[in-house]
Structure 1
């Protein structure tokens, strides 16, 4: 069973169509990278998976059941800007999720439950490289450390799906490479399904087991028509982690009996322009 199934989804705002005919099955444990030009609906798609947006037409399923209408603990999310609470310590930031789950009004855990969650949070923070910073506040952390904290925040509730909205775009290349290694290690250890929006093609192919390209349909010849209609999936590329690092195309994103040939990474550069 696919972890996520997207069935003929459209998103429309009045006469403007943002996404059209989106069909996609994401297997449990996959790491899917979403790429495409700015404004093509990548973040809208991520919001659909999070539950912040609802499709105008079509349906989304999570483990075979309709996706909940609002965000929940089954879907963790990390944004580009550091979504951490400045008044809480590193440990307090990570404990807040379990505390809200247990007691939405008090946001507190007590006794054995608190000790268990504290131990789990400490182990997770150690895994992301923040084991020595439990009692620091976000203002005392670098940007890379804050993003590691946001990653721990998202994973502490053990979600089925982790959603990443350009989470490493503001980081220096060296720090980004370090967090890539942290993320890959956590993904392999937990088996979580990950969907990541990124503008970085190297990042998309390095991390993803599948790269999905969103863009407006080139078959619409008139400019006015192309601008009115939204993005479709133009490429759906299965990335085999082989020594030659080639990307192999699995299937076209739309119902096309003749899928195009597998593109090289350089061939995809125009989709980000």
Structure 2
């Protein structure tokens, strides 16, 4: 059975149709990159995977069962804006999720349990290259370091699915390239299933094992919100390369002309 299934999935907000007739299967371990014009439903689909949004009709299934309507341990997310707590150190930012998991009322752990969580957090921070910054605060970190911290926050609860919403869009090219290598390493080491929204087609092709292009299959200029987007291209990527294939260049051209 596929890990994720969408069956005739629709998402609407009143008369505004965002997604329509979406049917997909995703197996565990795939790295799905999603591209398309702004407002075509990529982030909306990501939010439905997280449980922040619910389908208007149709089904979105995880292991054959409807996805829970609130975030849980199986799904972690990293946004473009750094979702870190400014009053906590790097180490504290990572362990807080585990503290609230084990102690929902106090948000604190003690003794052996605390030491175990701290050791887990330190190992994870080492894997994302932040072992030298355990006691720094977010205002003392660069943009790339903050995003590494956000990734560590998402992974500390050992999710099966990692959701990335344009996580590298605000980073400089050199830092972005380093983050690409990091996310590929973590994907393999943690055996994750990844869904990533990006506006950069070459990034989507380089990182993903499968690239989805979201676009509308039908349009009405008199009623621009009457129809929603679907996945117009579902491209398997069998070879990692920084070079964009001809088919993707054509899609880029079509997107830029709109």
TMscore range, shorter length: over 0.9
Deviation digits for residues 132-164 of structure 1 (CA, Å, limit 9, x no counterpart):
000000000000000000000000000010000
Q: 1 CA distance for matches of 2:146 and 2:242?
A: 34
Structure 2 CA distance for partners of 1:72 and 1:244, relative to 1, 3 Å = closer
Which residue of the partner structure matches residue 228 of structure 2? Answer: 230
C-alpha distance 143-203 of structure 1, shift in aligned 2 (>3 A): same
Change (3 A) 1:244 1:46: closer
Partner secondary structure for residue 235 of structure 1: strand
User: Counterpart of 2:189?
Assistant: 189
Structure 2 Cα separation of the partners of residues 44 and 243 of structure 1: 29
SS at match of 2:222: helix
How does the TM-score come out when normalised to structure 2? 0.95
Q: Secondary structure at the match of 1:205?
A: helix
Task: Deviation per CA, 1:192-226: give whole Å up to 9, x if none.
Answer: 10000000011100100000111011x44x42355
Q: Identify the residue that residue 134 of structure 1 maps to in structure 2.
A: 134
Cα root mean square deviation, aligned:
1.6
Tell me how many residue pairs correspond in the alignment.
256
CA contact (8 A) 1:240 1:246 kept: no
Pairing 1:44-193 to 2, within 5 Å after superposition:
44-193=44-193
Structure 2 residue 255 is the aligned partner of structure 1 residue 271? yes
TM-score normalised over the length of structure 1:
0.90
Matches of 2:114 and 2:171, distance apart in 1: 33
Query: How far, CA to CA, are the matches of 2:243 and 2:22 in structure 1?
Result: 28
Question: Which structure 1 residue ranges, 5 or more long, are not aligned?
Answer: 248-262
Q: What's the offset of the Cα at 1:100?
A: 1.0
Query: CA shift at 1:242, angstroms?
Result: 5.8
Cα 1:245–1:63 change in 2 (3 A) is: farther
How far apart are residue 167 of structure 1 and its match? 0.4
SS of the aligned residue for 1:224 comes to: coil
- Partner Cα distance (1:82, 1:112) in 2: 31
